[in-house]
Amino acid sequence: MKTIDNFNFNQKTVLIRVDFNVPLNADFQVTDTNRIEAAKPTVLKVIKEGGKAVLMSHLGRPKGEKNSAYSLKHIVASAEKILGVPVVFIEDCIGNQVKHTIDSAAAGSVILLENLRFYAEEEKGDENFAEKLAELGDFYINDAFGTAHRAHASTTIIAKFFPQAKCFGYLLAKEIESLDKVLNSTEKPVTAVLGGSKVSSKITIIENILDKIDHMIIGGGMTFTFIKALGGKIGNSICEDDKLDLALEILQKAKEKNVTVHLPLDIVVADAFSPDANTKIVEAKNIEDGWQGLDVGSKTLEDLKPVIMQSKIILWNGPLGVFEMEKFANGTIELGNFIAEATEKGAFSLVGGGDSVAAVKQFGLAPKMSYVSTGGGAMLEMLEGKILPGVRAIQE
């Protein structure tokens, strides 16, 4: 598979699908610039070699209608600051006027098109719309991992119009490489930390990775489905009662594949789902009625530390507790500290999934991880063993 480094973009007009779906505040200012920063190396390579970088993205869910609240004009100032060059904004993304503006721009220009989702055809994966986009350039780069699991016009369909002139950008290539490192590692042991509230949302991931890991640490709300399935008392903790048999099946499969499963030994319980709740630490399998588990306790963390420290590859997908409330953040913070320490000693750590990513950013741990994924849904689908449409389109 050719990478961006196999091409020179001198005199080329390069369509780059970026993921500039960034959060805006009430004054339409960008509050998190990570996704723009992530696209920077790809954009700079194109313009430094004398190509024109034509950036395509969506923003929010305008539902196929033009709506100034979702206009990409709001992110021009942030993009200029991060890229360090002027950004020409065009108030549409297809048509003769757009083509004329692009053609008239000097080599080395950065051009940002208006929100692709102002056209319903984008999300429908409409071939005519994809062709209209393709007419604007002579090379296509997909660097939007966050939307690579969608077969939209700009992420997947457009690639067929560039049979020999397409590649992954640096960001998308790095995402694929990082996941490949976790899923196909020759280094052992491999540890997966899986948190979150529901077993049902993680079942396909668990089934796909059991052959590839040595340790599975289970945390978050789905802990209690496993504990109840094993005959423990979980009080008022969250639980999927219809998944108890499934939890036992997972534990049996893990045993057959020599995967050591780590469930919490002790739990921080609260008498309400509230930052002001009364709390205490109890044995994980003995939670009284009226109390619910919202974080892991100190014995659990003592148990997990050596597992993390001995790991060569660590996948972290899901927090250990309700970290959004300070009282129940300790387990997630400490786990993050263990992973950071292991990473410093040479382990490869990949963090992915919305809540885990939010946690490492909130607690200043992101720079201490080997890689923090930019795409929640896309990463989960790759962990499930699926080939993403946006990835396949470049490889074909």
Q: Say whether 356 counts as a known binding-site residue.
A: yes
218 contacts 226 by C-beta, under 8 angstroms:
yes
354 is catalytic: yes
Radius of gyration of the chain (CA): 23
28 contacts 92 by C-beta, under 8 angstroms:
no
Q: Say whether 262 counts as a known binding-site residue.
A: no
Q: Say whether 6 counts as a known binding-site residue.
A: no
Q: Say whether 355 counts as a known binding-site residue.
A: yes
Q: What is the DSSP string of 352-384?
A: -SHHHHHHHHHTT-GGGSSEE-S-HHHHHHHHT
Q: Say whether 71 counts as a known binding-site residue.
A: no
377 is catalytic: yes
Q: Say whether 293 counts as a known binding-site residue.
A: yes
Edge-to-edge strand list for the sheet holding 110-113: 87-90, 110-113, 52-56, 13-17, 139-142, 166-168
Q: Say whether 283 counts as a known binding-site residue.
A: no
Instruction: Write down the catalytic residue from 212, 253, 354, 392.
Output: 354
Q: Say whether 117 counts as a known binding-site residue.
A: yes
Instruction: Write down the catalytic residue from 198, 299, 361, 392.
Output: 198
Q: Say whether 150 counts as a known binding-site residue.
A: yes
Instruction: Write down the catalytic residue from 212, 377, 386, 392.
Output: 377
Instruction: Count CB-CB contacts under 10 A for residue 86.
Output: 10
Q: Say whether 392 counts as a known binding-site residue.
A: no
Instruction: Write down the catalytic residue from 35, 52, 181, 243.
Output: 35
Q: For residue 368, give both structure tokens.
A: 């201490």
Q: What is the DSSP string of 260-311?
A: EEE--SEEEEESSSSTT--EEEEETTEEPTT-EEEEE-HHHHHHHHHHHHH-
Tell me which residue of 306, 395, 375, 351 sits closest to 182, measured CA to CA: 351
Q: Say whether 215 counts as a known binding-site residue.
A: no
Instruction: Indicate the annotated binding residues for substrate.
Output: 19-21, 35, 58-61, 117, 150
Instruction: Indicate the annotated binding residues.
Output: 19-21, 35, 58-61, 117, 150, 202, 293, 324, 353-356
Instruction: Indicate the annotated binding residues for (2R)-3-phosphoglycerate.
Output: 35, 117, 150
The catalytic residue positions are 35, 198, 354, 377
Instruction: Indicate the annotated binding residues for ATP.
Output: 202, 293, 324, 353-356
